[in-house]
Structure 1
Amino acid sequence: MKITALKTYRVEEFANVLWVHVETDEGITGLGETFYGAEAVEAHIHNTLAVRLVGQNPLNIEALHKEMVSLPNAQASTGVEYRAASAVDIALWDLFGKVCNQPVHTMLGGQSWDRIRVYNTCAGTRYVRTNKIKPVDTWNLGAKNDEAPSPYEDLDGFMTRAGELAEDLLDKGITAMKIWPFDPAGIENRGMFITAEQMKTAIKPFELIRKAVGDKMEIMVELHSLWNLPVAKDIARALEPYTPRWFEDPIRMNNAQALAEFARSTHVWTCASETLGSRFAYKEYMDRDAAHVVMADLCWTGGLTEGRKIAAMADTYHRPFAPHDCIGPVGFAAAIHMSFSQPNTLIQESVRAFYKGWYRELVTEVPRIEGGYVYPMEGPGLGTELVPQFFERADLTVRVSEAG
């Protein structure tokens, strides 16, 4: 079997998402995805990777992965090179599963779990329908004026009626939620300080959640790497009475020693980080006891090939693994396959505004989530494909690299 072509797809409506098809001479195609800077990633795939991959055996995944991530500048980052390699790698695993007529989690070693608990990241329905991705202020709160309101505007929910949102999630069986009410202050003050009034405002959702549902709901705190270290420690101390499950990315993920100092300052777990690329970056953080929960985004950190090595290394340090997902439907499917295959998976991130909303506009299958748990996808490969009408979109851009 040989790779005959790499095809990429992007659409104006979801300008930061890039999809990849790896085509073969046996008619089997693998589907991959990455997120952010789609046009730049597309250029790297076609201008740099295609000449190295077309004509190769797609089942030699480890060798192809090393080829992709060993290029100049593709070192332990989540930049263009790693995002491109991630998308292609996910497609190769999808193709591998299809060749063997098995789901990807079987190809990764089989199921470690019958079902996996999910938490709800409280984003809104219109996140990703933009090319401006920043915390809160550009996450497109609510529906457009010409759209019917959605019951899953969870960003607006945690910012304005957090107690009601927690009750609604519990009613659906979801017992953990992630929120980021400190972001407006972090953006306004560039992470340098937080006023007493801003602290009170940001703490209010935690008060409402605990008043409404007590300790029935776990709360993950996303800090989006916005803060300097002293302020991050102040926020952690202020939130400790509300017993959050973890603090995620409180500072920029470029100094393991600084994050270790943060982790020592609080009894709440520290989670890191979707922004790290490759197992080598994670090792430094674990060596310094800087992360209690290891989070990786497979669309950024090297795909399934690198993701399973990160999970295995986390297990070596007795750390739980919690795949990130707040991007597209193919990456979500890949993360779930990874979660089921790893014995140290703690919990799977999910966004109900996505899997009940725009994911269904793009792919044929979304994972089954019921009663606060996700269940294995059963089809060969990733178990999902781009819907036929996707290829008829007026805003679609397709680029192809093939032999000759």
Structure 2
Amino acid sequence: MKVVALETLQLAEFPFLFWLRVHTDAGLIGTGETFWAPGPVAAYIHDNVASYLLGKDPRDIELHDRTLGSVYVGARDSGAEVRGNSAVNIALWDIYGQALGEPVWRLLGGRTHRNVPIYNTCAGYKHVRATKKNALFERGEDWSLKSGDSNEGPYEDLLAWRYNAGDLARSLKSEGIGAMKIWPFDIAAEASNGTRISLADLDKALEPFQKIRDAVGRDMEIMVELHGLWTLPPALRVAEALKAYDVAWLEEPVRYNELDAMAELARHTSIPIAASERLASRQMFKQLIDKRAASVIMIDLAWCGGLSEARKIANMAEASELPVTLHDCTGPIVYAASCALSATLPNVNYQEAVRAYFTGWYTEIVADIPPVKDGHVAPLEGPGLGLSLRPELFQRPDAAVRITRI
């Protein structure tokens, strides 16, 4: 078997997402995905990866990882090269599973869990979707939005935690979901470049936590996303204020690659630190683990190097008695691959999921989604990843399709 074509897809409606299809002479097509700045990733795939991968056996995954990962620059961060290599790795595992007629999770050693508990990242329907008004994404979010501004479906969870956090917690519990992630401190961080937080702003950011506890008591785990926006002193103040709410973790309280500052914060708070979806390669995660800068190791398949690298990182964390959680607030291919890997990892604690995504726009991209039941997700059973891109996507007027053939 050999690779005969690399095909990439970008959709203007989803400006952060990138999809890759690896075609083989056996008729099998592997699908990969990554997130952020898809234009440079596409250029890297067609201008650099194609000259190496075309004509090669796609099943030699470890060889291709080592070769593509040994580039002169861009091999040790989550830049375009590593994001592109992540998409390639996911696609190659998809081909390997299809060739053997087995799901990826079986090839990764089989399940250690029938299903994995999810935490719901409380994003909304437009969180990564471009509209005529704006594209809601992390620091680009429009904080002037008011409750009721979006009515696309029942899970407008971004606005819900801002205005009705107690009702949101009750809604999640009604579906068996016992963990949720919110980020009410970002607005203060953006106003001060992360250098300070006033007591008034602190009290305002704490309001959703109080509403959640008032609504469901301690029957809900609350993860706190801080997006790496804070310097150390205000991060310490935030951590101290959150102790009363017994939150599950602080995620990226300081910049994700400022490991010494993160380690100092970890020494001064009893709240677990989770990091970092934005790190790439096991070498960087080894530094994070060795410094004990985080006690929950968060891995993103789209940014770390793919399924192969993620499994190695998870194994390192297990050797240090640390749990891992698989990050996904991006697209359906990485979500499916993450659910497959999560099922195999003995030290996984949660799989991230966004119910506004897996019940909403994910279904526009793929037909099959890992099933969520009673707050737990199971991997897909089909060969490879168990899903593929809908063919009509390539005919959309906003589609940018590029193919490099052997």
Fold agreement, TM-score > 0.5: yes
What is the letter of the counterpart of residue 139 of structure 2?
P
Asked whether the 8 Å contact 1:221–1:248 carries over to 2, the reply is yes
Provide the residue aligned with 2:74 in structure 1. 74
Q: Deviations over 1:35-66 (max 9, x none)?
A: 10001100001011110110111000001011
Structure 2 unaligned runs (5+)? none
Are 1:346 and 2:325 an aligned pair? no
What is the 5 A alignment of 1:288-367?
Answer: 288-367=291-370
Identity percentage over the alignment? 44
- Structure 2 residue 45 is matched with structure 1 residue 45: yes
SS in 2 for 1:135: helix
Which stretch shows the higher mean deviation, 381-390 or 136-145?
Answer: 136-145
CA distance in 2, matches of 1:302, 1:142: 38
> Could you tell me which residue of structure 1 aligns to residue 138 of structure 2?
134
Q: Deviation at 1:119?
A: 0.6
User: Which residue in the other structure is 1:16 paired with?
Assistant: 16
Tell me how far 1:392 sits from its aligned partner: 2.0
When structure 1 is superposed on structure 2, of 351-360 and 129-138 the one drifting more is 129-138
- AA partner of residue 87 (structure 2): A
Separation (CA, whole Å) in 2 of partners of 1:195 and 1:142: 23
Amino acid at match of 1:305: S
Contact 1:278–1:301 (Cα < 8 Å) also in 2: yes
Aligned to 1:276: 279
Letter in 1 for 2:117: R
1:2-30 per-position Cα deviation (integer Å, ceiling 9, x unaligned): 11111000111011111000111111110
Aligned equivalents of 2:140 and 2:123: distance in 1?
9
SS of residue in 2 equivalent to 1:347: strand
Aligned length: 402
Deviation at 1:149, TM superposition (A): 3.5
Shift of residue 148, structure 1, vs aligned partner = 4.6
Partner of 2:250: 247
Question: Is the CA contact (8 Å cut-off) linking 2:297 and 2:317 kept in structure 1?
Answer: yes
1:114-167 alpha-carbon deviations (Å, 9 max, x no partner): 11100100000111113673336259968998x854211101011111011001
Distance 1:2 1:141, change over 3 A: farther
Distance 2:313 2:53 in 1: 24
Query: 155, 158, 169: which is aligned to 2:158?
Result: 155
1-structure distance, mates of 2:254, 2:177 = 28
- Matched position secondary structure for 1:271: strand
Tell me which stretches of 4 or more aligned residues in structure 1 moved more than 2 Å: 130-136, 138-145
| Paired residues of 1:126 and 1:139 also in contact (CA < 8 A) | no
CA gap 1:285/1:113 in 2 versus in 1, 3 angstroms:
same
Q: Structure 1, residues 157-193: CA drift from partner, whole Å, max 9, x if none?
A: 1111101100110011000000000011111111010
Return the offset for 1:257.
Answer: 1.5
Note if contact 1:111-1:341 (Cα within 8 Å) is conserved in structure 2: yes
* Residue matched to 2:196: 193
Aligned-CA RMSD value: 1.6
Aligned amino acid, residue 137 of structure 1:
E
SS at match of 1:127: coil
TM superposition shift of 1:322? 0.2
1:233 maps to what in 2? 236
- 1:212 has 2:210 as partner: no
C-alpha separation between the residues in 2 aligned to 1:381 and 1:214? 41
Residue pair 1:11, 1:396 contacting (<8 A) in 2 also: yes
Q: Secondary structure at the match of 1:220?
A: strand
Change (3 A) 1:24 1:223: same
TM-score normalised according to structure 1 size: 0.97
Structure 1 residues 140 and 284: CA distance shift in structure 2, 3 A = farther
State how far apart, in whole Å, the 1-side matches of 2:248 and 2:178 are: 11
1:370 aligned onto 2:346: no
Kindly indicate whether residue 109 of structure 2 is the aligned counterpart of residue 109 of structure 1.
yes
Whether contact under 8 Å (2:125, 2:152) holds in the other structure is no
Distance 1:28 1:137 in 2: 40
Query: Does the CA contact (< 8 Å) of 2:147 and 2:163 recur in 1?
Result: no
The answer to whether the 8 Å contact 1:31/1:90 transfers is yes
Distance 1:115 1:169 in 2: 18
Equivalent-residue separation in structure 2 for 1:325 and 1:280 (angstroms): 21
| 2:109 is the counterpart of 1:99 | no
How far residue 249 of structure 1 moved from its aligned partner, in angstroms, is 0.2
Q: Give per-residue Cα distances to partners, 1:184-223, cap 9 Å, x unaligned.
A: 1111111010111110110000010011111000000000
Of 384-393 and 220-229, the range deviating more from structure 2: 384-393
Q: Which whole-Å deviations, capped at 9, do the CAs of 1:236-279 have from their partners, x for residues lacking one?
A: 00000000000000000122221111111111111000011111
CA gap of 1:242–1:158, structure 2 versus 1, over 3 A, is same
TM-score, normalised to structure 2's length?
A: 0.96
Letter in 2 for 1:38: P
CA 1:176/1:277 → structure 2, altered by over 3 Å: closer, same or farther? same
Please list every run of 5 or more consecutive structure 1 residues that lacks an aligned counterpart in the other structure.
none
**Matched residue type, 2:19:** W
User: CA distance change for structure 1 residues 139 and 26 in 2, over 3 Å: closer, same or farther?
Assistant: farther
CA distance in 2, matches of 1:153, 1:6: 36
**Which amino acid in structure 2 is aligned with residue 7 of structure 1?**
E
- Is the aligned partner of 1:175 residue 2:178? yes
